[in-house]
Amino acid sequence: MDTPIASTPAPSNCGSHCCGAAEPPPTPTPPARAGAVGFHIPSMDCAVEEGEIRRALAPIAGIEGLRFDLAQRTLSLAAAPPVLEAALAAIRNMGFDPQPLAGAAAAPTPHGHHGHAGEGLPRLLASLLCALAAEALTFIPAAAGPGSQILQLAEMGLAAAAIALAGFDTYKKGFYALRAGRLNINALMAVAVTGAFLIGQWPEAAMVMALYAIAELIEARAVDRARNAIKSLLAMAPEDAEVRQADGSWARQLTASVAVGARVRIRPGERIPLDGVILTGTSAIDQAPVTGESLPVDKGPGDEVYAGTINQAAALEFRVTAAASDSTLARIIHAVEEAQASRAPTQRFVDRFAAIYTPAVFALALAVALLTPWLMGYGWLQALYKALVLLVIACPCALVISTPVTLVSGLAAAARRGILIKGGVYLEQARLLKVVALDKTGTVTQGQSVLVEFAPVAAGADRAQLARLALALASRSDHPVSLAIARGLAAECAQPAAVHDFAAAAGRGVQGAVDGLPLVLANHRWIEERGQCSAALEAGLALHERAGRTVAMLADAGGVLAICAVADTIKPSSRQAVAELKALGITPVMLTGDNLTTAQVIAGQAGITELRADLLPEHKLAAIRELQQRFGPTAMVGDGINDAPALAQSDIGFAMGAAGTHTAMEAADVVVMNDELGRLPETVRLSRRTRGVLLQNIALALGIKTAFLLAALFGSATMWMAVFADMGASLLVVFNGLRLLRGK
């Protein structure tokens, strides 16, 4: 799922830079290639800054590859040494500080916030104390003579100290932004605070800068919760594993160094360090971190286990099937991070709106400063002060940050439930679905045939003995029907009897001698060929066939002894899931390559009224197109290679991840890791909830901005109020978006 020129936009701390955030990055440069050099840029964490860096690097010839990872705040550059130095110089001229990594892939997980990592909370608190002290001096009664001058100097000195403590980074980045002709919050804050200081509003200028910096810190910490919601899953995988050595001994080593094919041992209660296949032992595995399943799953030899899941009951040994960097858990994290790069429709709208809003308000502030003294009779200082207030209001921070934080929180909430959504666009558009097309096998049903009935034909026959004979023949064959019979009868028989002269008859069944008795385990055709059908038997077989079952019969030379009915049974959750889809106003339709009779039985059990059977892959593709024309937005749910064309054609493709093929998972937009159909209505509900939070955030951001904009123009809004409006609204929408991380 690697995308070229990957940019992984984490939810940005727009409090520091998003006033220019609406500008989309320019045409991407080629992706970083092998040999690229990695750099950590602490203050780069949103698409605006990515766009600024891209524009700065665009004129530099010789850059062979470029890759941004905003979640990690890293940039990988592939270029010759002279070109690399020129690129780094251009980045530094933008006000960024690229720090070399040990390797391009060695991106550290950032902590803290982006714009004030150097100051830290103690420094900002010192700034706030200085600002409060400067404000307190304004309440001291004015005195004449030298005392008044000393008081003013103290007030101005404390204010300057507060601004210096909190605003160095803001001034630095604001200077670079103004030099480049770009309006961002740093530029606006630098101009506004400087202007307030120059017109004598010292305490207010100091308090504005201190409050802005502290609010930014709080906002950044809150945004990091959304950014790290998925990465926290990675911490669930242990850092080391107990690995069998060449001499047969066991030793612990870092999971990153464990090779594929190694044998690993885990004890009860331990987390599984790597993906693998169980070799020895049987245990219950808590798979909630990967699949979202609420109950542990029993697993034994041959079953897959995933890194980060918990071994609950007994010791296990397994063979490693994927490196630590390619585990299912790591791929989930990587896919969700890449999903953040896709801009949802609401986010694109907000970005376009913000691109107009900021320069418009800036022009309005300039007009207020220059024209209101002539048109409205304001004093020049009063007009200038109102213009400075408008500069603070001019940043659409809350509006721009409202969408990425909400969408990333929704993506993280889905991943925790075992729903891997490959982009915010699919999370937002799932609410629009009108129809869901469901493959039958492996989606609505278990995808594995099971023995649903074993019945002796003759009344009073020894069932246990007949089961023993049928098991003896079935256990020697690898045909799916025989395997289902063998699994079903194994619980009734301690050990199958020995079989002599065993042979398989293609398209008919198997035969052999058990306890010296010649027997066959045959299908309907072979029994007819043997002349052993009767009217009563035909009637019984017809009932099974109408129920969508496959029948095999145990027979000897005298006739049929027992009937074995095999079927692919419906998943326990399918009927409830179909009912929930209908309650959401979504029409379920079954598309299957199976025969019509079987499809009708399964559809009836699941509560699906519309179905199409005997479909080849191209027929499923055509069916999706027809459903899109007839209903509108259509989802396809499948797990096989034959579903891939339909998955790609649908508006949103859902792949059943646990049993699904690699092709289906790549073609799908959403992967359900635990194969439960109930995750579909859950995704739709999450999409609708996400949409609701998005609209709430946009309404809050625009409403608060509009109110304070009017207050600044026609009332008595102060810079304090402007900062509270700007940063308060930003914090409000961030915490509102984070609500999606809670609950189901």
Query: Which residues form the catalytic set?
Result: 439
The answer for residues whose C-beta is within 8 angstroms of residue 9's C-beta and 6 or more apart is 46, 47, 50, 70, 71, 340, 341, 404
Between CA 583 and CA 247 the distance in angstroms is: 61
CA distances from 104 to 35, 39, 381, 645, 723 (A): 8, 7, 52, 36, 39
3-state DSSP call for residue 210? helix
CA distance 524 to 547: 15
Q: How many angstroms separate the CA atoms of 397 and 255, rounded?
A: 41
457 neighbors 561 (Cβ within 8 angstroms):
yes
Residues 90 and 87: their CA atoms lie apart, in Å, by: 5
Q: What is the DSSP string of 429-491?
A: HGGG--EEEEEIIIIIEEEEEEEEEEEESSTT--HHHHHHHHHHHHTT--SHHHHHHHHHHHT
* Look-up of token digits 């470029």: 66
Q: Which residue has tokens 């160095």?
A: 168
Half-sphere exposure of 363 (CA within 13 A, CB side): 5
Helices (H) and strands (E) in the chain, counts: 23, 26
List, edge to edge, every strand of the sheet that includes 634-638: 419-421, 670-672, 652-656, 634-638, 435-439, 587-591, 610-612
Which residues, other chains included, contact 179 with Cβ-Cβ below 8 Å and sequence gap of 6+? none
Quote the CA–CA distance of 100 and 104 in Å, as a whole number. Answer: 9
Do 425 and 342 form a contact (C-beta atoms < 8 A)?
yes
Other Cβ atoms less than 10 A from the Cβ of 314: the count is 13
Q: What is the DSSP string of 517-585?
A: EEEEEE-HHHHHHTT---HHHHHHHHHHHHTT-EEEEEEETTEEEEEEEEEEEEPTTHHHHHHHHHHTT
Distances (CA, A) of 494 to 178, 468, 472, 510: 83, 9, 11, 22
Estimate the share of the chain in helix, then strand, then coil, as percent rounded to the nearest 5. 50, 20, 30
Report the Cα–Cα distance between both ends of the chain, in Å, rounded.
Answer: 27
Residue 248: alpha-carbon gap to chain centroid: 41
Phi, psi of 463 (to 5 degrees): -60, -45
Q: Is 68 within 8 Å of 91 (Cβ atoms)? A: no
Name the one residue in this structure whose structure tokens are 């990675």: 234
DSSP letter at 669 equals S
CB 684 within 8 A of CB 635: no
Q: What is the widest separation between alpha-carbon atoms in the chain? A: 127
Q: What are the tokens at 456?
A: 């002796």
